[in-house]
Structure 1
């Protein structure tokens, strides 16, 4: 135990002896309430043989430091009686006021009275309840620890509550204070565990632990070697639309105005197509008016395949048709605008402008196919039978060149003859027939 360095006048011997005898008789120990720690010289105490003046009724403080507490604690200034079995710490140094009070009590021969509560504690219970505090922000928070008092010993700091124990009564170890401290410790440990789990998850995310963080727009994602990850991926090939088949093209409508008058100049479709049959051979050329914007190759293929079909004029090997691109064909099948078609048909005395139809200009070498009808079809066939209508248009006009005149349907509901004017109507003299594209349709 360390020595106290406090010195002062001697106290009277009888007072000390009386206080000692009174304490021994009741087997009680008077514990002074810790004070402010200020030094006062109002009471004299006898000095020892070595010049040291000890305090009365106190032991030595562990570590050689005085215990510093607010005068009176939570129950006012004065001496408190601690019975046997009370939880007290020996060695606390009494203040000068406590020494003076002890002297007065010893001189009068009365026992120290238990002091009443301090006024501010009584007012705290009588005051109306405070309004509820505003809700705290979400998220766990841990209050920062208060610095330890350097003047207290290690053992005392372990026993001090979190608030330091200087502004109120010391909480009982077995009361609500101990439970509160236990609950606070458990809550702090739980919050610390949650924070540790959150931090560990964030570290795992940052280190590529199975999650992908959002990348800012316009920033390349780089691989370990600094190159963009897209460099390792194959470059996707551009999507190419599948070309339409011949049948699909023949069933598709194309835009063209019914009153169009194009350039009036023609251009022969290059190339040839051999006659497939063994009958009489007809040689023809195909001309297309410039400026139409239609597929000339599609038109040329349609003419060759239609005329040489067994359902057409080449039926049963009667004749065959060959496409040429020279200047000496038997006739020229011409695809022209409505205006140009009308001019060439008028040369043979035929008016095609009334119903915007085609014709065989017999006075000339041209079989005129109206480009509007080729592109848009006719209401008699409808938009879903454009393929068949175009085959009928070729067979009908070439039939005129082969010497066949118009023929009307004679049986209601039967297929219309290919030489009937099916572009104009399928109902002739009250007999309505069905549309038909072939000279020899299948039975």
Structure 2
């Protein structure tokens, strides 16, 4: 249903700002880092850095790789495994090693779903400068989530002036049909594990990943956030989108730049804040890129 053009995607390859060198995507299997319980819940003062602002921005993307085949079935799309394992080149966001079965113990969070998706209707205007990246928002069938509401939240994140649009050469536009450059998919833990696992990533029923043209959002994280962001789940959703789309754009993981400083969006904050304060945006209010030492 979605046509991806590999040649045009390669032509669109962008470089990160000079102060934020791109890190190559590794095909190595990422192992989950245990210890969500060890995260310290920060006080309300820590959330000053994650507040919402009016949209004012947009952005562009990086390399393309073969995607899983999507078959249209009664208005939904079913993901089927490729006949051969696609080349690796994906990023998973580590978190505690909790089994997928644990997800079913949380009310309203099924462990797995049918693997079919409903696309959010409508679309958005282009935000940002440069060559536009067209994206779609899908929600797994049967979830108690409005695809339109999820799409509206994703739109606000990608349009925010502190988002990836602040680099001055990236742009986004949400669509519901036609060709897309990437797809944001909110899915059950089991479905996320299946899709991410096709690319050699172990998401363990707990975390998100960015593989090929799929920005996979784990339903657990979308609804529950993490202890640090438990009082501001909407802010954590912005972190999910900024972090995983950041991987899609070619950005690698970084560490905390120093105690008391804002945590970079590309930092694996679910593993611990390491002295940094909560922040969900790639750029600050003044348009400065928020980053830290590259993580090997």
TM bucket by the smaller chain? Answer: 0.5 to 0.7
- In the alignment, which residue of structure 1 is the partner of 2:108? 256
Is there any run of 5+ residues in structure 2 with no aligned partner, and where?
A: 1-51, 53-105, 287-296
Is there any run of 5+ residues in structure 1 with no aligned partner, and where?
A: 1-246, 248-253
SS at match of 2:111: coil
SS at match of 2:232: helix
- In the alignment, which residue of structure 1 is the partner of 2:227? 379
- In the alignment, which residue of structure 1 is the partner of 2:84? none
Give 2:248's match in structure 1, choosing from 384, 389, 401.
Answer: 401
Shift of 1:306: 0.8
- Write the mapping of 1:416-435 to structure 2, written as runs, cut at 5 A: 416-427=263-274, 432-435=275-278
More strand by share: 2
Larger Rg belongs to? 1
Contact 2:136 2:174 in 1 (8 A): yes
How large is the Cα RMSD of the aligned pairs?
1.9
Higher RCO (C-alpha under 8 Å, 6+ residues apart):
2
- Write the mapping of 1:146-157 to structure 2, written as runs, cut at 5 A: none
Give the TM-score normalised by the residue count of structure 1.
0.39
Work out whether 1:411 is the aligned partner of 2:223. no
- In the alignment, which residue of structure 2 is the partner of 1:269? 120
Q: Please give the alpha-carbon distance, in whole angstroms, between the structure 2 residues aligned to 1:316 and 1:409.
A: 21
More helix by share: 1
SS at match of 1:396: helix
Q: Please give the alpha-carbon distance, in whole angstroms, between the structure 2 residues aligned to 1:261 and 1:341.
A: 9
State which drifts further: 315-324 or 338-347: 315-324
Work out whether 1:439 is the aligned partner of 2:289. no
Work out whether 1:311 is the aligned partner of 2:168. no
What do the CA deviations read for 1:25-66 (whole angstroms, capped 9, x no partner)? xxxxxxxxxxxxxxxxxxxxxxxxxxxxxxxxxxxxxxxxxx
SS at match of 2:227: coil
- In the alignment, which residue of structure 1 is the partner of 2:207? 357
Q: Please give the alpha-carbon distance, in whole angstroms, between the structure 2 residues aligned to 1:263 and 1:310.
A: 36
What do the CA deviations read for 1:218-268 (whole angstroms, capped 9, x no partner)? xxxxxxxxxxxxxxxxxxxxxxxxxxxxx8xxxxxx9633x6201111121
Shift of 1:423: 2.3
- Write the mapping of 1:16-415 to structure 2, written as runs, cut at 5 A: 256-257=108-109, 260-315=111-166, 317-353=168-204, 356-362=206-212, 365-382=213-230, 384-415=231-262
Shift of 1:316: 5.4
Residue correspondences, number: 182
Shift of 1:278: 2.8
Contact 2:136 2:175 in 1 (8 A): yes
